């Protein structure tokens, strides 16, 4: 897949701790070298749909932090980042 990073996402990313930035770097390497199906099957990444319109997905960066993404063909667009994945699912 081809990762894409809108400006708003990049601004949020650079405000994160170095451990989250490093986890994100490792995730991008995995995204670049795999297909969507391979990402869905990869243990640890947990690429999961979020019930929404348009159909967003959540993908794990590390043990807690997750990114909200939009899959558009062969492109994974990174939209948001949160230390707790619960926020993406409407939980507090």
Going residue by residue through the chain (92 aa), what tens digit of pLDDT does each one get?
Answer: 999 999 999 999 999 999 999 999 999 999 999 999 999 999 888 899 988 778 899 999 877 789 999 999 999 999 999 876 566 655 54
| Residue 66 phi, psi dihedral angles, 5° rounding | -135, 160
C-beta separation of 58 from 85 below 8 A: yes
C-beta separation of 46 from 59 below 8 A: yes
pLDDT at position 82: 83
- Quick one: residue 39, left, alpha or beta (phi over 0 = left, psi -120 to 50 = alpha)? alpha
Encoded tokens for 30: 């995995």
Residue-range domains of the chain with CATH: 2-81 (3.30.2310.20)
pLDDT at position 91: 55
Question: Do β-strands 2-4 and 66-72 pair in parallel, antiparallel, or remain unpaired?
Answer: unpaired
């Amino acid at each position: 897949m081809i990762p894409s990073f809108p400006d708003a996402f990049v601004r949020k990313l650079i405000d994160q701790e170095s451990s989250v930035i490093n986890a994100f770097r490792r995730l991008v390497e995995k995204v670049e070298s795999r297909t969507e199906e391979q990402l869905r099957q990869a243990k640890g990444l947990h690429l999961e749909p979020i019930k929404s319109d348009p159909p967003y997905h959540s993908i794990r960066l590390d043990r807690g932090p997750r990114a909200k993404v939009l899959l558009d063909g062969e492109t994974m667009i990174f939209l948001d980042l949160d230390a707790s994945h619960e926020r993406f699912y409407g939980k507090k």
